[in-house]
């Protein structure tokens, strides 16, 4: 408990230049973190008093209940204030403050992200989103005509389109898997991938959490099987990083991309690329570098002029995430999903297109109402209850994606349950 309190005070001190921690709400937030330092994550997950103070650290609308955090998450106040401060500084003399001052903060930021990710700083590049990170990998891999890539029809469209472009341009072969999610059988998922592998398979593309409905794939187990066969492993972690409590090396992947503006709640347009050290030299950068075969991870950061304010404020997002705690955050998100799903499953005609087992899903769940289209359900919830969700119609996945976050309260979800109950009666 003492160590946890010291840790919280140290992080708060590092963020002392951010005005939020000087406000009454900010001070109450820090006091609450200290008071709850010794509470077990499972117990804290259900304590609404604690999460009320977390909610006050955000600037979310009081008039709209945002349950589409799966698209992009809001930033806590400390992150917003950091972006504004760095942006004002940049505008005083852009080429001086951007290139000579803020740019010097990239290496400390890289080290901070590496500590969060559990890997070497020499394996992480900072960029703008999952698509940029993953397309760097997809277009940078040295594949030739006839080489096979295993992927699924439930992967993210940008990644699917990138692979199709390589298929069109280079003659590689795409082997598509088509899952009927949800699946709460790890071995079934692993065997499906393994059965698709052949002597020509060079890469397997794995989406850690399926964005459409929240299915968690057993990435580590699939990666182990792939490596036995000399197959490289690429992980789309857009929805799992800072959502699930893990470190990148736990996945045993070769390549990894994520968006930090999702579950880390970092500034919009911030992302991360991981390349295992021994793989860097042979991966071509998406934006040309002086030496495309360098083994320096920084060759993937030749983006030209970008927002240094956004980049540097990632550090405040990491601090805020660490203040809450990765395990405590995951437990809360799992609790929120279970809270509303178990209530609405009592209603006639309602089903959930997501496993409720914590090993196979976390915050994201897919709502289905018999006789109602996803668009009809999403429109009804917003029109009558101002609940913002998203209708999903992709391949064989149809429903309304409901995605709370750490600032979501059970009172918000009670409104959701009431809205679904009313809709079921119409």
Asked whether 301 and 285 are in contact (CB, 8 A), the reply is: no
pLDDT confidence bin for 6, thresholds 50/70/90: low
Give me the numbers of helices (H) and strands (E) for the chain, helices first please.
15, 13
To the nearest whole percent, how much of the chain has pLDDT over 70? 96
Flag whether pLDDT at 214 surpasses 80.
Answer: yes
Tell me the torsion sign for CA atoms 211, 215, 216, 222.
Answer: negative
Tell me, what's the pLDDT at 32? Answer: 92
Identify which has the larger pLDDT, 2 or 406: 406
Handedness of CA 98, 102, 104, 110 (dihedral sign): negative
Highest-scoring range by mean pLDDT, 10-19, 23-32, 333-342: 333-342
pLDDT at position 16 over 90: no
Q: Tell me whether the omega of the peptide bond preceding residue 394 falls within 30 degrees of 0, making it cis.
A: no
H helical segments located in 296-409:
308-324, 326-344, 374-385
Q: 370-416: per-residue pLDDT in tens?
A: 999 999 999 999 999 999 999 999 999 999 999 999 999 999 999 99
pTM of the model: 0.95
Mean pLDDT of the chain, nearest integer: 95
Domains of the chain: 1-38 (no CATH), 96-317 (3.40.640.10), 328-425 (3.90.1150.10)
Q: Which residues contact 257 (CB under 8 A, 6 or more apart)?
A: 130, 132, 133, 134, 136, 137, 235, 236, 237, 238, 271, 272, 273, 274
Q: Which run of H or of E encompasses 24? A: helix 24-35
pLDDT tier at 368, thresholds 50, 70, 90: very high
Task: Please say if the pLDDT value at position 11 is more than 80.
Answer: no
Residue 368, sorted as left (phi over 0), alpha (psi -120 to 50) or beta, turns out to be beta
Q: So what's the pLDDT on residue 26?
A: 87
- In angstroms, the Cα distances linking 145 to 50, 142, 195 are 56, 10, 22
Arithmetic mean of pLDDT, 91-104:
94
Residue 92 is predicted with a pLDDT of: 95
Q: Which pLDDT score, from 0 to 100, does residue 201 have?
A: 98
Q: Which two tokens stand for residue 263?
A: 């579950």
Q: Checking phi first, is residue 153 left (phi over 0); if not, alpha (psi -120 to 50) or beta?
A: alpha
Give the pLDDT score at 4: 60
Q: Which of 93-97, 185-189, 302-306 has the lowest mean pLDDT?
A: 302-306
Task: pLDDT band for 24, please (50, 70, 90 cuts).
Answer: confident
Average confidence (pLDDT) over 242-248? 98
Q: Tell me: pLDDT of 157 over 60.
A: yes
């Amino acid at each position: 408990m003492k160590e946890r309190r010291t840790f919280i005070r140290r992080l708060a001190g590092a963020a002392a230049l951010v005005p939020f921690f000087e406000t009454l709400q900010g001070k109450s937030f820090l006091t609450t973190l200290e008071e709850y330092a010794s509470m077990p994550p499972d117990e804290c997950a259900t304590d609404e008093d604690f999460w009320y103070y977390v909610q006050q650290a955000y600037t979310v609308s009081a008039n709209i209940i945002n349950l589409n955090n799966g698209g992009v998450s809001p930033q806590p106040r400390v992150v917003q204030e950091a972006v504004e401060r760095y942006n004002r500084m940049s505008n005083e003399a852009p080429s001086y403050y951007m290139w000579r001052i803020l740019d010097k903060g990239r290496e400390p930021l890289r080290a901070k992200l590496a500590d969060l990710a559990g890997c070497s700083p020499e394996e992480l590049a900072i960029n703008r989103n999952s698509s940029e990170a993953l397309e760097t990998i997809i277009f940078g891999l040295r594949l030739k005509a006839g080489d096979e890539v295993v992927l699924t029809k439930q992967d993210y469209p940008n990644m699917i389109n990138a692979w199709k472009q390589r298929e069109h341009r280079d003659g590689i072969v795409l082997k598509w898997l088509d899952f009927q999610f949800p699946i709460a059988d790890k071995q079934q998922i692993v065997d499906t991938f393994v059965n698709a592998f052949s002597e020509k398979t060079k890469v397997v593309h794995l989406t850690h959490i399926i964005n459409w409905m929240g299915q968690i794939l057993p990435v580590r187990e699939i990666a182990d099987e792939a490596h036995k066969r000399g197959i490289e492993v690429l992980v789309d972690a857009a929805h799992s990083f800072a959502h699930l409590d893990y470190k990148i090396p736990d996945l045993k992947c070769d390549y990894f991309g994520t968006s930090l503006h999702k579950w880390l709640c970092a500034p919009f347009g911030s992302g991360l690329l991981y390349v295992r050290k021994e793989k860097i030299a042979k991966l071509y950068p998406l934006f040309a570098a002086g030496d495309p075969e360098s083994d320096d991870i920084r060759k993937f950061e030749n983006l030209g002029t970008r927002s240094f304010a956004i980049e540097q404020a990632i550090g405040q997002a990491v601090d805020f995430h660490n203040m809450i705690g990765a395990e405590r955050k995951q437990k809360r998100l799992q609790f929120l999903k279970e809270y509303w799903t178990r209530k609405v499953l009592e209603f006639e005609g309602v089903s959930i297109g997501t496993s409720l087992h914590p090993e196979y899903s976390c915050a994201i769940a897919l709502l289905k109402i018999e006789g109602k289209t996803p668009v009809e359900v999403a429109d009804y919830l917003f029109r009558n209850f101002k609940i913002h969700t998203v209708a999903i119609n992709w391949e064989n996945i149809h429903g309304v994606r409901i995605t709370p976050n750490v600032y979501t309260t059970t009172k918000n979800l009670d409104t959701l349950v009431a809205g679904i109950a009313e809709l079921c009666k119409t």
